[in-house]
Amino acid sequence: MTLKVAVAGATGYAGGEILRLLLGHPKYLSGELRIGALTGNSNAGVSVAEACPHLPTLADRVIEETTPATLAGHDVVFLGLPHGFSAEIARQLPETTTVIDCAADYRLQDAGEWEHYYGSAHAGTWPYGIPEMPGHREALTGASRIAVPGCFPTGATLALLPAVAAGLITPDVAVTSITGVSGAGKKASVALLGAETMGSLKAYNTAGKHRHTPEIAQNLAEYTDETVTVSFTPVLAPLPRGILTTATAPLIDGVSQATATQTYRDFYADEPFAHLLPEGVQPQTQNVVGSNMCHVQVEVDERSGRLLVTSAIDNLTKGTGGAAVQCMNLALGFDETAGLPTAAVAP
């Protein structure tokens, strides 16, 4: 049996990354997986050669309109659409179709939080696509509906999760994430022009306004009985790809550097896409570009009594497209690592 896969929003950054990874997937190379409809309303009728010249294997394909009818008949549908659009499309696809949503529509469990941050009715909650979170790999295995996490919550969650789960910190966390411009999506925006971003850094959606704030809190709250508070500050940097996250929280008395390091080493020992760096080596976005890896460093700041954790991911791979393919692998019973690079592009 050949699986037929569609990508909605194929000309966006998330859709393009999913396609890049699928083209190297062993199931595609063996002929067991076929790439079907490629859709994108703003580029409907345009060839892939024109819209996505980095995908020459698909150059002769034409982008179609994003409709339930176009996506029907596929075994897997990736939705790389803005929030709000995904839910409407997903409702019209059969339960027999594995739907993997890269938007926010089904990530949050609390309807009140959704309505506060997104200003619309809550569509519901699907299995959440960070397999490294205990219990989530099992929920994703065989699932027909999956919510891919936000890129900022991925970096922040993987940075803080071992410390929260082991009770090393009081979960009153401060998170700062520096991100490349592709995180905003492939859209015309004055604020994202090269002349506006080159040589400059800018914080945005500060003081609890960013929509990924409740997602970070939700993820960490699964692993502690204490109240989780998150102060999240995103910073826009003149990079195409990458997120560097620093997260701090008050240490529980008696936690040493050795304890923190061993906790993280044990937690991620069997995780193929989470890598604890040697002591003294800091995560850098350049070392994860194009890979599905999260690089992590953990440090005890004895003078301030705080834990400092730093993580680096490629926002388009582990932060979006790679996470989506990783979830597909679990949903369909493939090797979880299939088609997902662990080595970055360097220099």
Instruction: Please state whether the peptide bond connecting residue 347 to the residue before it is cis, i.e. omega within 30 degrees of 0.
Output: yes
Bridge partners (DSSP) of residue 100 are: 78, 146
Amino acid at residue number 145: R
Distance, CA of 43 to CA of 15 (rounded, Å): 13
Distance of alpha carbon 42 from alpha carbon 244, whole angstroms? 31
Distances from the Cα of 300 to the Cα of 163, 171, 244, 304, 308, angstroms: 11, 15, 19, 9, 6
Residue type, 289: V
β-partners of residue 169 are: 251
- Whether 327 is a known active-site residue: answer no
Alpha-carbon dihedral sign for residues 142, 146, 152, 153: negative
Amino acid at 258: A
Closest CA to 102 of 26, 46, 153: 153
228, 173 contact by CB (below 8 A): yes
The DSSP bridge pattern shows strands 145-147 and 98-101 to be parallel
Q: Which residue has the tokens 């109240």?
A: 227
Q: Which amino acid is at 161?
A: L
Query: Could you give the dihedral angle defined by the CA atoms of residues 254, 284, 149 and 87, in that order, rounded to the nearest 10 degrees?
Result: 150
The catalytic position among 52, 151, 294, 327 is 151
Q: Which residues are catalytic?
A: 151
